[in-house]
């Protein structure tokens, strides 16, 4: 349990106030919009259709509703599928994989994993003894974000976040981001924090993975100029976990 808590803290951090550091103005990683590999014949048996338990469905429903079904740990408002995907990608050096988030994973694998999360709520991808193509796991994370009914930044605040990128004065940009981040619901903030940290690790290795900020932005995320992760710190959620 202690080991699991340490892993969780890696993606949620130690709760503090939500002051926004200057470098947060350089990365706003959020959902901005709404060549599968050839399949082997034996995959059809392995990835048989799973009938989701409607009480555990986490895809294509509001974020708060999904978290009530499958948060990664009681007291942390981070959805299990988000945590598990990022955990798996980091453990398998996805930031050093060329074309991560650009190349597609196998469609059958994506469907299988989506059905499992919709059936079980939480699937420990890293420790269940099965290897998955990291492009499929990146695709699963991307798919979850695509299927969110509303933006991670909320319908009310989404365009305000997008417009902040156009502010010319850096101080104004930081101040406005601080205001907007503070206004986010805790569950949205926690997802944004985990996602931003993950994308920074991807962009840091753009010379290897060929995924620059603009490449990431062309997918499901909006970012401004390249991040300076040496002093990046998106503060932690408002609530303290006992």
pLDDT digits (tens, 9 = 90+) for 13-38: 444 445 554 444 444 433 333 333 33
Q: Would strands 76-79 and 71-73 be described as parallel, antiparallel, or unpaired?
A: antiparallel
Strand pairing partners for 79? 71
Q: Assign a CATH topology to domain 14-32+151-236.
A: Phosphatidylinositol 3-kinase; Chain A (1.10.555)
- Would you call 233 helix, strand, or coil by DSSP? coil
Average pLDDT over residues 58-84: 94
Residue range(s) in the chain whose domain bears CATH number 1.10.555.10: 14-32+151-236, 34-150
| pTM of model > 0.75 | no
Alpha helices in 80-226 (DSSP H): 80-91, 107-120, 134-147, 158-164, 170-183, 186-204, 206-209, 213-217
39-63 tens-digit pLDDT: 443 444 444 455 555 668 999 999 9
At the fourth CATH level, which superfamily is domain 34-150?
Rho GTPase activation protein (1.10.555.10)
Query: What's the pLDDT at 180?
Result: 92
d(CA 158, CA 30): 9
Average pLDDT over residues 115-141: 94
3-14 tens-digit pLDDT: 544 554 454 444
- Would you call 237 helix, strand, or coil by DSSP? coil
Please, which pLDDT band fits residue 144 given cuts at 50, 70 and 90?
Answer: very high
- pLDDT surpasses 50 at 239: no
CA distances from 186 to 15, 39, 119 (A): 11, 40, 25
């Amino acid at each position: 349990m202690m080991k699991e808590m340490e892993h969780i803290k890696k993606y949620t951090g130690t709760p503090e106030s939500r002051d926004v550091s200057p470098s947060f103005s350089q990365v706003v990683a959020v959902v901005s919009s709404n060549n599968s590999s050839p399949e082997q014949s034996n995959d059809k048996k392995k990835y048989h259709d799973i009938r989701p338990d409607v009480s555990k469905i986490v895809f294509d429903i509001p974020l708060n509703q999904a978290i009530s079904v499958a948060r990664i740990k009681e007291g942390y408002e981070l959805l299990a599928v988000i945590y598990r995907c990022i955990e798996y990608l980091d453990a398998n050096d996805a930031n050093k994989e060329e074309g991560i988030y650009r190349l597609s994973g196998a469609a059958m694998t994506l469907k299988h994993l989506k059905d499992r999360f919709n059936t079980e709520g939480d699937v420990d991808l890293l420790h269940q003894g099965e290897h998955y193509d990291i492009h499929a796991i990146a695709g699963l994370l991307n798919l979850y974000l695509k299927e969110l009914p509303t933006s991670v930044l909320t319908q009310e605040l989404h365009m305000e976040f997008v417009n902040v990128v156009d502010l010319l004065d850096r101080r104004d940009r930081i101040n406005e981001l601080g205001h907007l981040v503070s206004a986010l619901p805790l569950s949205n903030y926690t997802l944004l924090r985990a996602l931003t940290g993950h994308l920074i690790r991807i962009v840091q290795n753009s010379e290897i993975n060929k995924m620059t900020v603009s490449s990431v932005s062309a997918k499901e995320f909006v970012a401004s100029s390249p991040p300076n992760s040496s002093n990046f710190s998106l503060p932690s959620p408002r609530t303290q976990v006992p």
